Amino acid sequence: MTEPGLTLRELDQRLVTDLKGVGEKRTAALAKIEIRTVLDLLFTYPRKYLDRTRQATINELPVGEEAMLLVEVTKVSARRTRNGRSLVEVAVTDGTGSLSLTFFNQGWREQQLSPGDELVVFGRLDQYQGRPQMTSPIVDLVGNRTGRVVPVYPQSETAGVHTWELDTMIGEALRRVMMVKGFSDPVPSDVRARYRFVDRSTAINQIHHPESMAQVAEARRRLVFDELLRIQLELVQRKVALEQSAKGIAHQVGGSLVTAFHDNLGFDLTGAQLRVIQEINADLKEPRPMHRLLQGDVGSGKTVVAVSALLAAVQGGHQGALMAPTEVLAGQHYLGIAALLRNMTVPDPATLLGERPLQVDLLTGSTPAAERRRITVGLATGGVDVIIGTHALIQESVAFVSLGMVVVDEQHRFGVEQRAALREKNSDDSVPDVLVMTATPIPRTAAMTVYGDLDVSVLDEMPPGRTPITTEWVKEEAPAWDAVRREVAAGHQVYVVCPLIEESDALEVRSAEETLTRLQETELEGLSIELLHGRFSSDEKKAAMAAFRAGETSVLVATTVIEVGVDVPNATVMVILDADRFGIAQLHQLRGRVGRGAAESFCYLVGEATTPDGEERLRALVRTTDGFELAEVDLDLRGEGTIMGQRQKGRNDLRLASLRRDREWVEAAREVAINLVGDGTGLKNHPELADEISVFLGDEETDYLFRS
Ligand code: ADP
Ligand code: MG
């Protein structure tokens, strides 16, 4: 069980002012970098370490090489150069030799550094007038530290807090804690034993004052796990609580309606579709509400899965709703789904034949008033079985007889408020099952963290018979236009995506207009070309899309408004100009607009790469069309910040853990969390763990985490 020791809560109640040598001025400086309590201080981890035994030395460092050196200041002098710049020269030595550090226009270095200071410097060794020198190296003041491995903390020049000061204060805090009773360790001992973790006292001491880099690794492992475990415990509890608190609907799965739908599709479901439908059915027949994320690449056939779920609800006399993020997409879904459900009937004892046609409708902001009245009456009385629309469907005062299944397309944020809105839809307080669909794959472990309060199903198999899309990265435009002319001559259609200009909408529109004019007058002269961009009104957008869908337009020149959901199987070429400006996910989505029919399709990524990351992105796109593989590359390139997105706001507990580097630990933490709290009894037996979760994810943040 839990050993006695100081809890993180207790450390969070101790202010840094309690520490020796921390007066008002320091307290204020620390507050600027969000360090207020002893806990904040101890959880400020070294940014890097300096291993004295493996340190480069001045005498052995070749000129032209970059290196990190541990040196002592012997002399500081400042002067002005002939052209008036300030120049601070700092003579340093490391016992094997000496060199000069020169800083231009950093006059404050004269105050910062004095003889006897120990510094870690990182820079390139040059030679000036035959003497070794580093120009404007990165400098960390480490103070007078002994020990083989020296921690280097994230110092803040603006707050005036230096790495050696942090080191001293942290040393003092550690000494005090260890003198009293050490750190309490609330992680169950069987878990610690299973992963061979060091205890928390050892981990916190070693992360700050390691004797070897191996100790750093050992400490890091443990602390990373703790961070991830806290998050997973919260997410899993959240998930279980939702399942238990709400009254759901036990649907009849495997009814004739769904079977008839599958039989009439004209193709066999893929293995992945069958598996995911089964996963969903297992949830649907339980009397607790489902809350599931369906991840599937563009074209993987999510619609069929979604409609199967909607029909399972309709089979039992309930209604289904599908929400899309925009009117255009809602309209498109409506066309597709109405076609899939044509000629289907539902039981209706009130009619002579005992059945009537299944009724599907579209409700958006631009539905005419009379139509709208008919539909809302139908929803309230049961005449409408499946409704498709925008998010407004569940937010407005639209009443249902019995809403049984809600599919949310591309809606990444679906939280507590939406759920509350859903609860009000049904007079008997029952909550419909929810399936959230996304075509933006994210790596599994990232999904576990970002969507940890949802179950996740993955469509990881493409329907057969797709001709793969050939992707080419071309520095010049010419080959792309050749392909465009060739494909249009063969009766196909083409998208041209204009350069992304994040800084300005207006500039982006202008550039799109210029591209259109240029193509009309030169490279694509004579073809029927139309424009589509974000400044179009919704009617204009609809008209442009309709013309393209009808084949009246051969080439659609567009900004990224076409990114999601547009489905024109006759389109076989996607040309993306200045492709290196787009992110991987965006490029992948754009490319997914072609390759939707039987004909071979092509994607041209045009332009030079202007950054190494840009080059990596384009290469990845050429190499694979697998969205999950691309998501992994994206995570590698961008780090987890972007995936966590807004969830990183507030007091973030992920200090050491990286969703990228620590994938295995995300899974381990999830598994442990499920073992501990998956049964819904909560952390009754682990009150200290419960308490430290609220210290880190404070009530506000916890709310925020789950509302977003
Ligand atoms: P997503 O929404 O996942 O991008 P869709 O559901 O729109 O994909 O499906 C893309 C296309 O593939 C549609 O034309 C659909 O009819 C077709 N499709 C779906 N499932 C299969 C399957 N099992 N076999 C053949 N074609 C399929
Ligand atoms: Mg779709």
Which of the two residues, 217 and 55, has the higher pLDDT score?
Answer: 217
pLDDT 10s digits, 599-640: 899 999 999 998 888 999 999 999 998 888 888 888 777 765
Any atom of ligand 1 within 6 Å of the Cβ of 301: yes
- Last-in-domain residue among 556, 591, 624: 624
Contact status, residue 554 vs residue 533, Cβ threshold 8 Å? no
Average pLDDT estimate for 469-492: 96
6-44 pLDDT, tens digit per residue, is: 999 999 999 999 898 889 999 999 999 889 999 999 999
Instruction: Identify whether the C-beta of residue 276 lies closer than 8 Å to the C-beta of residue 245.
Output: no
Which residue's CA lies nearest to atom 17 of ligand 1? 301
**Number of structural domains in the chain:** 3
What is the rounded average pLDDT of the residues 460-474?
88
Residue whose Cα lies nearest atom 22 of ligand 1: it is 463
Identify which of 267, 407, 594 to mutate to test ligand 1's pocket (most ligand atoms within 8 A of the CB): 267
pLDDT digits (tens, 9 = 90+) for 245-302: 778 899 988 889 999 999 999 999 999 999 999 999 999 999 988 989 899 887 889 9
* Whether residues 473 and 427 fall in one domain: no
**How does residue 495 score in pLDDT terms, banded at 50, 70 and 90?**
very high
Asked if residue 20 is part of any domain, the answer here is no
Indicate whether 358 belongs to any domain.
Answer: yes
Instruction: Inform me whether the pLDDT recorded for 1 exceeds 50.
Output: no
Q: Do 411 and 344 have their domain in common?
A: yes
Q: Is residue 7 part of a domain?
A: no
Q: Give me the domain span that covers residue 541.
A: 469-624
- pLDDT of residue 598 exceeding 60, the answer is yes
DSSP three-state, residue 364: coil
Indicate if 496 and 578 belong to the same structural domain: yes
Indicate whether 4 belongs to any domain: no
Residue 674 to residue 297: CA distance in whole angstroms? 28
The ligand with the least distance to the CA atom of 296 is 1
pLDDT at 147: 67
Q: Say if residue 707's pLDDT is above 50.
A: no
Let me know whether 379 and 278 are in one domain: yes
Are 420 and 485 contained in the same domain? no
Identify whether 399 is part of a domain. Answer: yes
Q: Is residue 508 domain-shared with residue 361, that is, in the same domain? A: no
Find where tokens 């007889």 sit. Answer: 401
Least trusted range by pLDDT, from 151-160, 329-338, 544-553, 593-602: 151-160
Query: Token pair of 163, please?
Result: 């790495």
Mean pLDDT, residues 638-650 taken together: 47
What mean pLDDT is predicted for residues 644-663? 61
Taking 80 as the threshold, does the pLDDT of residue 554 lie above it? yes
Give the atom of ligand 1 at the shortest distance from the alpha carbon of 273: 23
- In a domain, residue 294? The reply is no
394 and 504 both lie in a single domain: no
Closest CA to 243 of 293, 198, 289, 302: 289
Which residue's C-alpha comes closest to atom 15 of ligand 1?
301
The pLDDT value given to residue 704: 40
Mean per-residue pLDDT for 222-236? 92
Same domain, 127 and 88: yes
Report pLDDT digits (tens) over 39-80.
999 999 998 888 777 778 899 888 988 888 889 999 999 999
Residues 476, 612 share a domain = yes
DSSP assignment string, 602-657: EEEEES---SHHHHHHHHHHHH---HHHHHHHHHHHH-SHHHHGGGG-SS---SS-
Q: What share of the chain in percent tops pLDDT 70? A: 92
| Residue 642's pLDDT band (cuts 50, 70, 90) | very low
φ, ψ of residue 351 in degrees (nearest 5) = -105, 165
Look-up: residue for tokens 């060794």? 125
As a whole number of angstroms, the distance between CA 663 and CA 310 comes to 34
Give pTM, 2 decimals: 0.70
Question: Is 499 within a domain?
Answer: yes
pLDDT exceeds 70 at position 563: no
User: What pLDDT sits at residue 466?
Assistant: 75
Question: Is the per-residue pLDDT at 347 higher than 80?
Answer: yes
> Tokens representing 114?
């004095």
Say how far apart CA 497 and CA 534 lie, in whole Å. 12
Residue 394 and residue 278 share a domain: yes
Q: Is the pLDDT at 695 greater than 80, yes or no?
A: yes
What is the average pLDDT across 660-678?
Answer: 89
User: Does ligand 1 have an atom closer than 6 angstroms to the CB of 270?
Assistant: yes
pLDDT digits 0-9 by tens, 263-279: 999 999 999 999 999 99
Ligand 1: which residue has its CA nearest to atom 10?
Answer: 299
Q: Are residues 413 and 331 in the same domain?
A: yes
Looking at the predicted structure, is the pLDDT value of residue 187 above 50? yes
Q: For residue 585, report the distance from its CA to the centre of ligand 1, in Å.
A: 20
Those residues with Cβ within 8 angstroms of residue 527's Cβ, 6 or more apart along the chain or in another chain:
484, 485, 488, 554, 555
| Residue 636 in domain | no
Q: Check which CATH number belongs to the domain holding 98 and give it.
A: 2.40.50.140
592, 624, 656 - which closes a domain: 624
Q: What is the pLDDT of residue 647?
A: 41
- Among the candidates 438, 461, 483, a domain finishes at 438
**Residue 302 CA, closest ligand 1 atom number:** 3
The tokens describing 505, both together, are 């909408």
Which of ligand 1's atoms lies nearest the C-alpha of 306? Answer: 6
Q: Closest by alpha carbon to 696, among 159, 205, 184, 7? A: 7
Q: How far is CA 163 from CA 150, 652, 657, in A?
A: 11, 22, 22
Give pLDDT, residue 561.
67
Say which CATH number the domain at 594 has: 3.40.50.300
The more confident residue out of 267 and 421 is 267
Distance 308 CA to ligand 2 centre (A): 14
Question: Is 463 touching ligand 1 by the criterion CB < 6 Å?
Answer: yes
Whether 483 and 614 share a structural domain: yes
Answer yes or no: are the C-beta atoms of 527 and 555 closer than 8 Å: yes
